[in-house]
Structure 1
Amino acid sequence: MKPSWEVDPRERRLVPTYRGELASRVARARALQKAGDYPAAAECLRQAITEGESWLGADAHELVVALNELGILCKYSGYFDEAEQVYRRALSIEEAQGPAATADLASLLHNIAGLAHARGDASSAEPLARRGIAVRSAMTEVNQEALARDRAAWAAILIDLDRLTEAQAILSEVLAAYENVPTPDRYEIAVTLHNLGSLQARAGEHATAVDTLSRAYALKRASLGRRHPDLAITLYNLGRCLQNLGRSRAAKRRFRRAVDILGSRVTDDHPTLAACRDALSR
């Protein structure tokens, strides 16, 4: 699709205009994602990438952020193959810029690791997560909040590898780091608490995990709203813990709520949706 205001892309003086338009499309997609409208956000990015290719070229570095954002949305929605394709394309463009440590490279490695983890391949995810942390740590100016997010995601992978002691130490450090931030992001604290609750559940501490996951859910809901798809995974883990404590009715309410929230926003075989339906069927 050609933009309605299209002009000759050979005119270099218009490149900043193209870049600005691409950035505005990415910002729009992020707003849609935050509102929980994954399909609309993904379509916005697909159009932005197609037009960006026309304006700037198929290998333009400006496409990296849009490709990364589309990968995130595809992963959240259950379109794992498309996520893999766009992440790898973005990584190829980024690595072609040279060996310098950049925030974009660190974010891509974080997200590719997260995709492998979502697919159940924690062994492949772990070295990617470590590499992302190393890249971000090597930057001239380190974004400590972004580094904390990297470490929290790494800890989640370690939990699935049964490296619980390492994971708990990392999550404790991350939570302490957020306490030192003047205005911490409630959502990121919620994600860290979700991971800590998952660790406690893996260790058999189900009552403690219920408290931690309930805190995570409350923070997510306050940050994202009552029907955001990202609530579902915390509801599922909370339901599993309640089930293990013999509180079947309370568990079923969480599973049903998760299914209701995900609805048609994700693929029918999305792991969280499938797990909740399976739990209800049993």
Structure 2
Amino acid sequence: MGKREHCRTSVLFFPTFVNRFGCGKAQCTGVPSFRIGHAGFLDRLVWPDLNRRLSVAKETIVNRSNRAGQIAELRKVVMWLYDKGRYHDALPGAVQLVDWSRDSHGSSYPELADSINILAMTYHALGQYDAAEPLHVEALELRRRCNGERSCAVAMSMNNLAALHFDCGKFGKSEELYLRSLEIDRNAQTLHNLGVLYHAMGRFAEAKPLFHEALEIRHEAPGENSSSFALTLNCLAALYFRMSDYAQAESLWRRALKIRGRVSGRRHPDYARTLNNLGAVYYILGELARAERFFMRALRIRRQVFGDIHGECAQTLDNLGSVSRAKGRFKKAL
């Protein structure tokens, strides 16, 4: 297939700097029946009546008529919460969605695979990898049965499982699945993710053209003012950072930060990840006060989104500790 983004993007992380600095977690992909933006399943839908929609979805617990319509309504709510980075809020609905889908569809419908995929991605985003992996595998097998081995849905599930292997440090398995996915559908999502993987493996020369190809596709659709375009900018900046081109890294990250602020909002985890990355640039350049401000802003957002006990909060705290040590504040660094 050509340079089209058939299976649009979803979520992704960005770890800290120094030895762990990179372009972070690879993106998972969402449900093929929806147009998907970066950190979620909706194409930037905004619902002022979210509370009403939540109430409608909850009514299905006691009202089992029109279950298909109720599942669709709950799926939209879960997707909206996920898109906003509210993963903890999305999780109960995602669990319920799978239960209802199993009850309504049995074990051989594409809709069940979509629901399982949503739950797997939610666990993945929360860092609960042991819970996510069997669900990603189940979604992949269902899609093979329902859609065929060379379908876009199968390519999406391969991408998602590869992203999980990446986050678990299983780079060989991750690369194999990404390459198989690209054989089916050469889309921006998987090109981006393979670039993330090669970056993490130190294969910078192979990563750079993948990011540029993904940017070219995303420039055409969904456009520069999109979270998926900002995500690839973010990761290309990280590559320049690793190559010690700090001016280029800062420029790209500032561009990504502006897009993420407009598209996702300034309390979204993606916005925090770019703040963290800019803090890393200023740390390396010796601008410690500036670095500390960016890390503190990132930490406040991450605590609101994830709570105190989460890898991204720990990473930013580690970054702040590095700043404190560089300033000679050793007690505070501890």
Give yes or no for TM over 0.5.
Answer: yes
Q: Which amino acid aligns with 2:184?
A: V
Cα distance, 1:108 vs structure 2: 1.2
| Residue of structure 2 in register with 1:13 after alignment | none
| Residue of structure 2 in register with 1:6 after alignment | 64
Q: Secondary structure at the match of 1:78?
A: coil
CA distance in 1, matches of 2:200, 2:121: 21
Cα distance, 1:187 vs structure 2: 0.7
CA distance in 1, matches of 2:306, 2:107: 28
CA distance in 2, matches of 1:124, 1:167: 17
CA distance in 2, matches of 1:234, 1:182: 20
CA distance in 1, matches of 2:172, 2:238: 18
Residue 165 of structure 2, aligned match among 99, 116, 119 = 116
Structure with the higher fraction of residues in helix conformation: 1
| Residue of structure 2 in register with 1:159 after alignment | 199
Residue 302 of structure 2, aligned match among 226, 238, 262 = 262
Q: Secondary structure at the match of 1:230?
A: helix
The 1:115–1:254 alpha-carbon spacing in structure 2 relative to 1, beyond 3 Å, is farther
| Residue of structure 1 in register with 2:174 after alignment | 125
Cα distance, 1:3 vs structure 2: 3.1
Verify: 1:23 aligned to 2:81, yes or no. no
Cα distance, 1:207 vs structure 2: 2.2
Q: Which amino acid aligns with 1:3?
A: I
| Residue of structure 2 in register with 1:43 after alignment | 92
Spell out structure 1 runs of 4+ moving beyond 4 A: 182-185
The 1:186–1:98 alpha-carbon spacing in structure 2 relative to 1, beyond 3 Å, is closer
Q: Residue 198 of structure 2 contacts residue 207 of structure 2 at CA under 8 Å; is this kept in 1?
A: yes
The 1:92–1:185 alpha-carbon spacing in structure 2 relative to 1, beyond 3 Å, is farther
Bigger RCO (CA 8 Å, 6+ sep): 2
CA distance in 2, matches of 1:88, 1:182: 29
The 1:37–1:152 alpha-carbon spacing in structure 2 relative to 1, beyond 3 Å, is same
TM-score (norm: length of structure 1): 0.85
| Residue of structure 2 in register with 1:11 after alignment | none
Q: How does 1:139-178 map to 2 (within 5 A)?
A: 147-178=187-218
The 1:90–1:181 alpha-carbon spacing in structure 2 relative to 1, beyond 3 Å, is closer
Residue 252 of structure 1, aligned match among 292, 296, 301 = 292
CA distance in 2, matches of 1:200, 1:277: 24
Residue 272 of structure 1, aligned match among 312, 319, 323 = 312
Q: Residue 18 of structure 1 contacts residue 56 of structure 1 at CA under 8 Å; is this kept in 2?
A: no
Q: Residue 225 of structure 2 contacts residue 259 of structure 2 at CA under 8 Å; is this kept in 1?
A: no
Q: How does 1:45-194 map to 2 (within 5 A)?
A: 45-58=94-107, 60-97=109-146, 99-137=148-186, 147-181=187-221, 183=223, 186-194=226-234
Could you list the runs of 5+ residues in structure 1 that have no partner in the other structure?
Answer: 8-16, 138-146
| Residue of structure 1 in register with 2:278 after alignment | 238
| Residue of structure 2 in register with 1:14 after alignment | none
CA distance in 1, matches of 2:125, 2:290: 26
- Report the identity percentage: 26
Cα distance, 1:268 vs structure 2: 4.7
Q: Which amino acid aligns with 1:4?
A: V
The 1:115–1:26 alpha-carbon spacing in structure 2 relative to 1, beyond 3 Å, is same
Larger displacement relative to structure 2 (269-278 or 162-171) = 269-278
What is the number of residues matched between the two proteins? 264
CA distance in 1, matches of 2:286, 2:124: 33
Cα distance, 1:233 vs structure 2: 2.4
CA distance in 2, matches of 1:273, 1:20: 38
Residue 201 of structure 1, aligned match among 224, 238, 241 = 241
The 1:120–1:252 alpha-carbon spacing in structure 2 relative to 1, beyond 3 Å, is farther
Q: Which amino acid aligns with 2:62?
A: S
Can you list the C-alpha shifts for 1:41-68, whole angstroms capped at 9, x where unaligned? 1211111111222222255432111111
- CA-based RMSD of the aligned residues comes to 2.2
Cα distance, 1:178 vs structure 2: 2.9
Larger displacement relative to structure 2 (63-72 or 196-205) = 63-72
Cα distance, 1:196 vs structure 2: 0.2
Can you list the C-alpha shifts for 1:117-165, whole angstroms capped at 9, x where unaligned? 223333332221122222224xxxxxxxxx1122112111111111111
CA distance in 2, matches of 1:185, 1:131: 30
